Amino acid sequence: MRKRIFISLLLLSAVAVGPASAQNGQRGGIRTETQSRLAGQGADNDLIWNFAGLLGLLGLLGLRRGHPDDSYHPAVME
């Protein structure tokens, strides 16, 4: 079931990327504030933000469900 969901999400994202990449970002010839800001500066902060995003994604690994035998079980005193 998980494989079917994963494959369907993968195909859906592949279909969605096609039309999105076809857009040039030109909407009426008026540049947005973000486009103007990015044109004015280099890509200096991109590497920093990429590492911050990677660190956040690695932090999500801590939310995984643990194994059912990972809980504390006191030993029986004999």
Least confident piece of the model among 4-8, 59-63, 64-68, 73-77: 73-77
Q: Is the pTM of this model over 0.75?
A: no
Does pLDDT of 33 surpass 70?
yes
Does pLDDT of 68 surpass 70?
no
Does pLDDT of 29 surpass 80?
no
- Cβ neighbors of 49 (< 8 A, separation 6 or more) are none
Task: Count other Cβ atoms within 10 Å, centred on residue 38.
Answer: 13
pLDDT category at 36 given cuts 50, 70, 90 is: confident
